[in-house]
Structure 1
Amino acid sequence: MATRRVIPQQVRGDDPVAAEAKNRRALGDIGNIASLLPGVEAGKVNRPLTRNFRAQLLENANKKQINVAKKPEAVQKKARAVAKPPQTHEVIVISPDTNEVAKAKHDAASSKKKVTYTSVLNARSKAAAASKTLDIDSADRDNDLAAVEYVEDMYSFYKEVENESKAQMYMQTQTEINEKMRSILVDWLVDVHVKFDLSPETLYLTINIIDRFLSLKTIPRRELQLLGVSALLIASKYEEIWPPQVNDLVYVTDNTYQSKQILMMEKTILGCLEWYLTVPTQYVFLARFIKASVPSVPDPEMENMVHFLAELGLMHYDALKFRPSMLAASAVYTARCCLNKTPVWTETLEFHTGYSEHELMECSKLLAFLHSRVGESKLRAVFKKYSKAERCAVALVSPAKSVLSSTPAP
């Protein structure tokens, strides 16, 4: 029986898609062989399988090893000569002396040892104990603002430069003002300083600016108060967080001067002093010397007495001949005499102030004399300030008779 062949519909001749597929040419007939590399025959592209390729790599490696083994003997001898280790020479080691070894180890340990904050304080405490002086900074070890690590160097520097910022005696060059006028000006400034509730640093810097300016330039009498109020403005801007306004200073002068005049004098002062305002005033030394006087327990009466005597010194023109550090040390010495502190002058005070009791006697005698006359003087701003209970009424304490009766040091 004849077998009937059924042709699927998709390959029948009457289907155009099937006819086109049937007429497609083979891969080698469509011209893509032209893109092969030269020397490669068409249809014979050699793409080895992974296993064959690995076997070929192994075979190439074996051939390289065989070639290395068959190198000429001369080349091998040369390679052995290069690889031959150098000859060793016998070295004789001489052992150093035991003391030298110990010293070398000690020096190495010392060089590696770092200078720390604690070691500096301990060394200072030992030095103070050896010289029978108290370590006044021991309580401030944890206070960063006290700058305990640098405070001695700072005050050594202050003493070196205090003469540079110290005003010279100038009354012989001033034609219209005298010592009494200066005292009246300072007394008025102390009163203004209290009314504005300014810091002590401002008062001392104000007087320093006035005296330095007068030692460089002559001014008429009518401008003396203008100089004082302008110096107070400069010092307030330098020391205070909230300095007084210019209009406030015009008011305290009872409108004697206008704002423009104060600002012009401020400019004149700064130009004359070349803007040199960072100076070690008497107050800088007072803060340190009071601490040396009462290193353990605070003594408000002692502190107020020292400031009272120091401000009396500010009012007196003759005090300008003394250095700020000596004035501060003399105020501490005179205050201790007034309050009957024993001993009057300790090794700790002499160490930190740098002055002996003999060296302070002349300046202390001047301060004690001013103290004895303060109740009779018409200039009473300092006396009223320190007669109040909040300042321990130290102005009412009797002056140091032991200092007044002593002979000044030669």
Structure 2
Amino acid sequence: MASRPIVPQQARGDAGVGGAGVAVHKQTKKNAAPGDGRSRRALGDIGNVVNVRGVVVDGKPQQQIRRPLTRSFCAQLLANAQAVAAAEKNKKNVCVNVEKAPVLDGVPKRGAAAAPKAIQKKPAAKPLPATAKVIEISPDVEEEVEVKEEKVKEEKKKDEVEVKNNKKVTEGARSSKKKQHTFSSALTARSKAAHGIANKPKEQIVLDIDEADANNHLAGVEYVEDIYKFYKSVENESRPNDYMHLQTDINEKMRAILIDWLIDVHQKFELSPEALYLTVNLIDRFLSVKVVPGRELQLLGMSAMLIATKYEEIWPPEVNDLVCIADRTYTREQILLMEKTILGRMKWTLTVPTHYVFLARFIKASIPDLKMENMVYFLAELGIMHYETIRFCPSMVAASAVYAARCTLNKTPTWTDTLKFHTGYSEPQLVDCAKLLAYFHSKASESRLQVVYKKYSSSLRAGVALFPPSKYLLCAESRLQVA
């Protein structure tokens, strides 16, 4: 970079340009202690030989030389400052305009262009062109830069704190929005609190309901799950079809009278429940494939019971006993002939899943007491006595009897996850059949067929027939009939 001719320095105390005295800048001590950041030279060499005031060479004090600041050098400084500002894109630029003229060795230079001080943070030294000269900033200027850097840092910290506070406010607003309760949720919470189910823990599913029978070899605990899976898969194969429209001499009321009488006979002979449900299954299956005259309907029932007791009982009743109990309406030969006809039509298929096998399993899953168990059997026998339940499969009738019994006895919850797991039915699937059973319960005391009602009104069976039917199921049934 070209420089102007060196102006001879005036003697100390002479008047400078414009009559102003020349201020002499003090030089920083060269022999300062190491590590002192403020020990610097005031100015370095800018192209001329500079003798700093106060330096002694060969025992002779040297005079201070005053150097001019050229316009081209000032322009180079401005260009460097602009380049540094462009490199710091993500930082805050602090620009300070110099109000006074540039100072060289403490003496203001007249006519020199004012250069701005654009210093935010001390940047790394940028390589300058070969013609450029390097200057060092005096200690007082360095102090000013450090103060400005501290201010910039404080401003950044304040901005960061404000941003964090804003985030917290927005997050708090979001969480408050999430926690807002609607009117419907408030009503739901109140109803749960009223029923005492607000803070109940989640129900645990009881998978092993056969734990109590682990030492009972007759229970077949090792195979019981597979057995019931098989029953569920084949129950529709042995399920009777809707046959009443095929029968010309039999109606639903006649069938109900027959089942009611057979339940009475079953009770007098003290037979097992398995025999009763198999008897009803054989009757319905036979009526599904053969038209029977009305006068032979009771004969069909007696022969079906004889087959079922031979299959299920150790000591089945004799044929003569059945003849006597029917008041000798039919002969021994007629009963044996009908027995042979039934077995031929059924192809000797007697091992079928009846309502009872599912009732025994589902009652066990409900963890019942005496009232609960008898209520289930009461509703189930009402169900098999009426022809309307024939459209439901045996497992659904059994599960619906358990559900209706729990509703009648006000068990909470009415349907558990354990029952859902072991029955394979959800609560909505059972509502229709359960409504029908509750309706039969409500009409049992007024019906002419009183055998089932009297049987379960006894104290030996906890008098469950005397309990009022489920209001919830009856209301649903009445709404269904009105619709």
* TM-score band, normalised by shorter chain: 0.5 to 0.7
Distance 2:238 2:320 in 1: 30
CA distance in 1, matches of 2:279, 2:298: 12
Q: Please point out which of 368, 391, 395 is paired with 2:438.
A: 368
Q: Counterpart in 2 of 1:143?
A: 216
Instruction: Spell out, residue by residue over 1:76-132, the C-alpha distance to the aligned partner (whole angstroms, 9 max, x if none).
Output: xxxxxxxxxxxxxxxxxxxxxxxxxxxxxxxxxxxxxxxxxxxxxxxxxxxxxx993
* Counterpart pick for 2:355 among 263, 275, 282: 282
Could you tell me which of 193, 208, 217 is aligned with 2:290? 217
1:51 paired residue number: none
Equivalent residue in structure 1 for 2:205, among 105, 127, 133: 133
Q: Structure 1 counterpart of 2:310, which letter?
A: K
Measured in 1, the distance between the counterparts of 2:450 and 2:215 equals 42
What secondary structure does 2:431 align onto?
helix
Amino acid at match of 1:226: L
Within 5 A, what are the aligned runs for 1:53-92? none
| Alpha-carbon distance in 2 for matches of 1:304, 1:336 | 12
Aligned-residue offset at 1:148: 1.7
1:185 is aligned, of 258, 270, 278, to 258
**Separation of aligned partners in 1, 2:203 and 2:235:** 27
1:187 partner SS: helix
What is the aligned counterpart of 2:236 among 138, 163, 186? 163
2:465 to 387, 395, 403: 395
- How far, CA to CA, are the matches of 2:228 and 2:308 in structure 1? 22
Any idea what the Cα deviations from partners look like across 1:263-320, whole Å, max 9, x if unmatched?
Answer: 00000000010000000000000000000001xxx51111000000000001110100
| Partner of residue 57, structure 1 | none
One-letter amino acid of the counterpart of residue 433, structure 2 = C
**Alpha-carbon distance, 1:146 to partner:** 1.8
CA distance in 1: counterparts of 2:217 and 2:263, whole angstroms: 32
Q: Displacement, 1:234?
A: 0.4
Q: Which residue of 1 aligns with 2:390?
A: 320
1:247 corresponds in structure 2 to 320
For 2:314 and 2:219, locate their aligned partners in 1 and report how far apart those are by CA, in whole Å.
Answer: 20
Do structure 1's residue 229 and structure 2's residue 302 form an aligned pair? Answer: yes
**Deviation of the 1:382 alpha carbon:** 0.4
| Cα distance in structure 2, aligned partners of 1:158 and 1:362 | 23
Q: Which has the higher contact order (CA 8 A, sep 6+)?
A: 1
> Of 344, 347, 358, which aligns to 2:414?
344
Q: Which has the larger radius of gyration?
A: 2
SS in 1 for 2:209: coil
Q: 1:401, 1:144 → 2: CA distance?
A: 42
Amino acid at match of 1:397: F
Alignment of 1:87-102 (within 5 A): none
The percentage of counterpart residues that share the same residue type is: 66
CA offsets per residue over residues 161-194 of structure 1, 9 Å max, x none? 0000101110110000000000000000011101
Matched, 1:271 2:344: yes
Deviation at 1:152, TM superposition (A): 1.1
Match of 1:309 among 370, 374, 379: 379
Which structure 2 segments of 5+ residues have no match? Answer: 1-201
Aligned AA for 1:345? W
CA-CA distance at 1:222 after TM superposition: 0.5
Q: Which residue number in structure 1 is paired with residue 69 of structure 2?
A: none
Structure 2 letter corresponding to 1:140: D
Q: 1: CA distance between counterparts of 2:366 and 2:353?
A: 20
Secondary structure of the 1:406 match is: helix
Structure 1 residue 147, shift from structure 2 partner: 1.7
TM-aligned CA deviation for residue 337 of structure 1: 0.6
Alpha-carbon distance in 2 for matches of 1:235, 1:272: 15
Question: Cα RMSD (Å) of the superposition?
Answer: 1.3
Higher helix residue share:
1
Q: Aligned partners of 1:264, 1:146: CA distance in 2, in Å?
A: 36
So what's the TM-score if we normalise by structure 1? 0.66
The residue number in structure 2 matching 1:377 is 447
TM-score normalised by L of structure 2? 0.56
* Alignment-mate amino acid for residue 160 of structure 1: S
Letter in 1 for 2:459: A
1:1-37 per-position Cα deviation (integer Å, ceiling 9, x unaligned): xxxxxxxxxxxxxxxxxxxxxxxxxxxxxxxxxxxxx
Q: Secondary structure at the match of 1:148?
A: coil
In structure 1, the residue corresponding to 2:476 is in which secondary structure?
A: coil
Q: Name the SS of the counterpart of 2:276 in structure 1.
A: helix
Q: Which residue of 2 aligns with 1:60?
A: none
Q: 1:153 aligns with which of 212, 226, 235?
A: 226
Alpha-carbon distance in structure 2 between the residues aligned to 1:271 and 1:214: 13
Structure 1 residue 359: Cα displacement: 0.1
**Amino acid of the structure 1 residue aligned with 2:418:** T
Q: Does 1:335 align with 2:408?
A: no
Q: Distance in 2 between matches of 1:396 and 1:139?
A: 32
Q: Mind listing any 5+ residue stretches in structure 1 that lack a counterpart?
A: 1-129
Q: How far apart, CA to CA, are the structure 1 residues paired with 2:389 and 2:261?
A: 18
Amino acid at match of 1:371: H
Distance 1:357 1:349 in 2: 10
Q: CA deviation at 1:406?
A: 2.6
Tell me which residue corresponds to 2:425.
355
Return the letter of the residue paired with 1:133.
Answer: I
